[in-house]
Structure 1
Amino acid sequence: MNTKTWLAVSLICVAAMSALVDSLFFWRGMYARPLTSTISDTLFALLLIMWIVADQRDHPQVERPFDYGFLLAVFWLPYLPYYLWRTRRFAGLWMLAGFLVLFSLGFLIQLAIWAVLVMSQR
């Protein structure tokens, strides 16, 4: 497997483990975000930046200035939708939606747990 694939798998694993920890804390009634969630959010962003750097090598139409890595580390959040649109068009929008779901997976699972708890009280 190539670097992009390993980074994507790592991204999915970090998001899944973070969602599991967040949902376990929520289920036990601890509503404060644990330190592991903060660390996993930072790791998620770093892995996403590394994935963009690895992916852009396959797309020569993306121009890179000499300080591309630094600019990407600073402006990765607004650059991600632009990059995905520029390189993949509508498929890039689906990838962006997938990244957003991965990033908010912990919240979505907490929402599902809350809905089940509310429905079970009826």
Structure 2
Amino acid sequence: MNIKTWLAASLICVAAMSALVDGLFFWRGIYARPVTAAFADTLLALLIIMWIVADQRDHPQVERPFDYGFLLMVFWLPYLPYYLWRTRRFAGLGLFAGFLGLFSLGFFVQLAMWAILVLNK
């Protein structure tokens, strides 16, 4: 397995564990955002940045300036859809939707739990 696969698997695992914690907090009635969720969001961002750096080695058509790592750390959110579009076109938009889905997984778990609670009353 290559490094991109490991990073993608790590990204999915961290998002799933964060969504589980968000769901447990919601189930117990604690609506404040726990510190673990903020840590997980930061870790997700770092994993995505590391995935972009690893993926860019396979795409030489995208140029990297000398301060690429710093720029990526600062502007990763607007750069991600541009990079995915530039390297993969329409498939990149699907991949971007998947990344957004991973970031929003905790919200979707809470929304599903709320819908189940409302429908059971």
TM-score, normalised by the number of residues in structure 1: 0.98
User: The residue matched to 2:30 in structure 1 has which SS?
Assistant: coil
Deviation at 1:48, TM superposition (A): 0.3
Matched residue, 1:62: 62
Matched residue, 1:116: 116
Does residue 104 in structure 1 map to residue 104 in structure 2? yes
* C-alpha RMSD of matched pairs (Å): 0.4
User: The residue matched to 1:20 in structure 2 has which SS?
Assistant: helix
Deviation at 1:49, TM superposition (A): 0.2
User: The residue matched to 2:33 in structure 1 has which SS?
Assistant: coil
TM-score, normalised by the number of residues in structure 2: 0.99
CA deviations on 1:29-67 (whole Å, 9 max, x unpaired) are 111111100000000000000000000000000000001
Matched residue, 1:81: 81
Deviation at 1:81, TM superposition (A): 0.2
Deviation at 1:78, TM superposition (A): 0.2
Matched residue, 1:42: 42
Deviation at 1:95, TM superposition (A): 0.1
Matched residue, 2:18: 18
Matched positions, count: 121
Moved over 3 A (4+): none
Matched residue, 2:27: 27
Runs of at least 5 residues in structure 1 that lack an aligned partner in the other structure? none
Runs of at least 5 residues in structure 2 that lack an aligned partner in the other structure? none
